Amino acid sequence: MAKQTPPTLPPGPRRTLSEELHALHRRAGWPSLRDLADALGKVASRSRIGDVFAHPRLPAWGLLELLVTELARRARRLDPAAEVDRFHALWEAAAEASDKHDGPTDTRGDLLSASLRSSAEDMRKKVRNAGAAAVLAAPPPPAAPPPPQLGPHAYLSELAQKRLDALSKAINLTASILDQRWEHAALRRDQQEVARRRGILESLRIEAEDMHRELALHTQTGDYRGLRRLVDGVLAVEISVADLRRFLPE
């Protein structure tokens, strides 16, 4: 058994969702994160599943739906389909409440600066404009019809893939820079600082790999909200990677 620690949340729909998920986990016998990852066919890592239980951000519905289905299947006298419907209503209430406050919840807290909020808002405007253009555009001339415009879901999926590709390149570049600074570090404290940043970069690399799997899941399930939050999360990781290249010891 592996009881998970719930996040600290203020009263509201997000806290209710968390409490109900932990109650369902208890009724299922507290299966470990490894057991759940294996049961879900490795569509998400143990750390990503652990975040659903322990992180204050709102989890993506696609992953939460799979977890609820598996936990309800293991619990006694519970109908998995009915539990999915119940949790979807809880998740919708939490998502609506989060949208009324400071924007998306799937961010990295103090790393989400004003510039990130502005970038995320610009991307949401592009999504809305893409959807409006698809509805309001005049019929194309029969002689040379333009390529079809992407809908909001396809646009976000493509955008997330491009940002993840850019993130992978940034991680590789940062790793190369840190390797060079390690070789030329003259003082022990400089080596310790480079080693510390290497450790952070490796954690971010693992998170990026999880995001690739999460993108495949959201694209397959058509989870628009999950894709939107994933894009915001990738932007936050990009900022973290860029910070690792700043003020390096000479």
Q: What is the mean pLDDT of each run of 10 residues along the chain (250 residues)?
A: 84 94 92 87 82 91 88 88 92 83 43 44 53 49 50 77 90 89 78 87 90 88 82 84 74
Instruction: Please give the helix or strand (H or E) that residue 107 lies within, else none.
Output: none
Residues 237, 204: contact at Cβ < 8 Å?
Answer: yes
| CATH topology for the 13-99 domain | 434 Repressor (Amino-terminal Domain) (1.10.260)
Residues 159, 119: contact at Cβ < 8 Å?
Answer: no
Which two tokens mark 98?
């989060």
Largest CA distance in the chain: 70
With the C-alpha atoms ordered 47, 50, 54, 56, is the resulting torsion angle positive or negative? positive
Query: Could you tell me the CA-to-CA distances from 245 to 107, 110, 197, 203 in Å, in that order?
Result: 21, 18, 9, 15
pLDDT at residue 71, rounded to an integer: 93
From-to residues of CATH 1.10.260 in the chain: 13-99
Query: Could you tell me the CA-to-CA distances from 38 to 33, 42, 49, 60 in Å, in that order?
Result: 9, 6, 11, 19
CB 151: neighbour CB atoms within 10 A? Answer: 15
Residues 49, 33: contact at Cβ < 8 Å?
Answer: yes
Which two tokens mark 51?
């975040």
Q: Which residues contact 145 (CB under 8 A, 6 or more apart)?
A: none
Which two tokens mark 7?
């996040």
Query: Could you tell me the CA-to-CA distances from 210 to 56, 216, 217, 244 in Å, in that order?
Result: 18, 10, 11, 20
- How far apart CA 25 and CA 15 sit, in angstroms, is 15
pTM comes to: 0.44
- How far apart CA 181 and CA 176 sit, in angstroms, is 9
Residue type, 43: V
- How far apart CA 51 and CA 170 sit, in angstroms, is 24
